[in-house]
Each structure stands twice: as structure tokens, then as C-alpha cells.
Amino acid sequence: MSDVRLSPRERLVLTAIIEMYIATGEPVASQALARFFIDREGLSSATLRNVMATLGDAGLLEQPHTSAGRIPTAAAFRYYVEQITQTGRLAAGVNASIPNQPGPSPLSEARRGQIEESFSGVSSSHEYLERTSHVLALISSGLGVALACSTAAQVLEHIHFSRLSTGRVLAVLVTQAGAVQDRVLALDHELTHAELETAARYLNENFRGWPVERILSEVARRADLEREAYRQMLASVEELCRKGALVAAESGPAIYMDGIANLISSELDRERLRQMLLALEAKQRLVELLNAYVDGRQQEVRVVVGLDEASPAMQDLVLIGAQARLGGSNLGTVAVIAPTRIQYQEMIQAVSYIAKLSERLLELPAD
């Protein structure tokens, strides 16, 4: 939409129409606009009709019925989002004048408090991503989605060892992304049941929340530094790790969704709704959608209006997503998928706020 050039008056009128449509869900008529602009010189109903006609010719407004007012097109919403994301406020500067619309700081103290309270007690990436999908669905009245980065599956939550026979041990690894892997290890040295319990307890108490690939090198480092009496236990732990106890399962990334019921109540005809739900329920399609639109390298919130490239039935949906990070690495993608008639400023701020919570909630252990 960067090639769209609007005069200040056209931008003012378009912004007002978009925000009135977001607030009411009804086509906006020139008379309603005239009442809003009653104190602005030169913006009579006739003038507004001319401006609306120009915006319609530019593909920014459409008229659902001959006698109805105008509604914004996907192109109009893209232009609107561009103004928000480029300037941090509406370029037209009129949103604070419309009742029930967010002001320059749309994420209120009450909303931040609600979000903080909703994440109380979260201590693992699995819990954070699962809670994120629920919170975003709740505050957006859309679909809340959280997709674990493939590397998030490599963070230790819990490990357990069981002795099977001479030289053979079963290792059960649970990652913070919820993946469970069991693996039979062939050891060079026999370990007793008590030694296996000690090894598991040491790993769980010292390395929960650590990336799996860092644990083996840290165990080896500690084995070199610790006193002799401790070295034997660490040697057992090191052998279990070297034999593959901490090789995470190579499964697809975990994805969490909440709020499908919110979309069912949206203003879509039954066939389009059915097609949209089919697209969203195919989790692999949803993974591809998030990976295509939300780049792991970007620092800002991404807003995509009209998801018809993913599925024609999703043309009236918007995706607002961002990367959650931990220790400088990508933890996953958090996003809202909702009808285009959404409170953009508030949801952009909410997605950004929740994405940044990961660093505070999940402190990566120091080297």
C-alpha cells in the first residue's frame, strides 16, 4: 500500500470511516460522517460524498448495497495499519475523538495488569506458549496462536532413567515444548539403580530450562572442576549424556490454538466459514502460514491484512504476530488471527507486550 497517495482530507475521512466501522460493524453513511465532522469547515455531506467516491475509485471503500454506506476494503485496512506502524499513532490524528476508540497509548494499565495476572505462575516455555494462545484469544475475540520454534523443543523439562538390563538403560526425556522421547542407551560402564536416580535428580535440579546441547559441555566442565568425591557421580551423568540421553526428539514444532469459537460467531457465510475452519484446523497449514508471514529475524510486530494467499476463505482475516525470544534466540511465534474489524492499535500493542514477556518470565540460566 506504500504507493497509495491520499490528500490530508482523504486520509482524515478514510481514518474516520475505518474507526467508525471497527466500532459499529455497520456501513458508514455520509450523514454519519457529517455529524462527526460537524465542526470541521468544508466537510458537509456533499463534500464527504465526493471524498468517499474518490476513495471508492481508489479501491479503499466498497458499497455492500446500493442504498448502504461504505465499508473499508482490505486495501484500506492495510493503509490504516501502515499509518499506525510507521508513526506509532494515526497520521490523521482523529482517533481520540471517536467514542470508545483507543488513544495514543492503547494498551491501558488495566489491560497490562490483566495480561500480567494471566501469566502468573508460568515458568516454562511450554506453559508460556500455551497460556499465550488462551490470553490472546480472550482479549482479541479472535484465534490466539502460539508456535514453538523448532529449537524450543530442545529445552530440558525433565529426564528419568530406568535400568533395563546389564549395560542397558531407558532414558525418558521431556522438553519444555511438551515433546516426550524415550531412548535405550548402551553404556560402557554398569550403573546401579541408585546411581541412575542420582544422575536424573542432578540433571533435573541443575539443568531444567537449559538448552539440551549446552548441558553435556557444562557437565564435562563441572566434572573437571569439582572435587574428587563429586567426580564419580558427574562421570556417570556425563556418560549417560554422551550415549544420547539428551538428544531431543525430531518432531514438528508444537502449536497451541485457542478461540476457534470466536471466529464461528463472526460475520461470515456458512460455506466460507467451513472453508476457513478447515484451513485453520490443518495445523501444518497454520504452521506454514505463521512461518511465511512472521520472520524470525524481525524485531517488530507483523500485521498482514487478508490471508487469501493461504486460503481464499481467509480473505477477511488479519494476522498480527511477533517473535518471542529467550536469551537472544527465537522461542516461538505468538499471534492473533481475527476478522479485519479488530482494534488494531490495542492488539498490536498486546501482541508486542506478550512477546516481550518471555524474556522476563523465562530467565535463561547463566553460563
For the record, the C-alpha cell of 251 comes out as 518432531
Q: What is the pLDDT of residues 245-260, one digit of tens each?
A: 666 555 556 788 888 8
The reported pLDDT for the residue numbered 228 is: 56
Helix ranges (DSSP H) in the chain: 8-24, 30-36, 45-57, 74-87, 109-118, 125-140, 193-207, 212-225, 228-240, 260-264, 270-281, 283-293, 344-361
Percent of the chain with pLDDT over 70: 77
The reported pLDDT for the residue numbered 103 is: 37
CATH number given to 8-97: 1.10.10.10
Q: Which CATH class is domain 153-245?
A: alpha beta
pLDDT of residue 351 exceeding 90: yes
- CA 256 to CA 123: how far, in whole Å? 17
Domain boundaries, the chain: 8-97, 109-149+253-361, 153-245
Identify the residue whose cell numbers are 546411581: 195
- CA 157 to CA 125: how far, in whole Å? 9
pTM: 0.69
- CA 183 to CA 175: how far, in whole Å? 14
pLDDT of residue 48 exceeding 80: yes
Q: What is the pLDDT of residues 23-41, one digit of tens each?
A: 888 899 888 888 888 766 5
Q: What is the pLDDT of residues 183-199, one digit of tens each?
A: 888 888 888 888 888 88
Could you please state the CATH topology (level 3) that the domain comprising 109-149+253-361 is classified under: Beta-Lactamase (3.30.450)
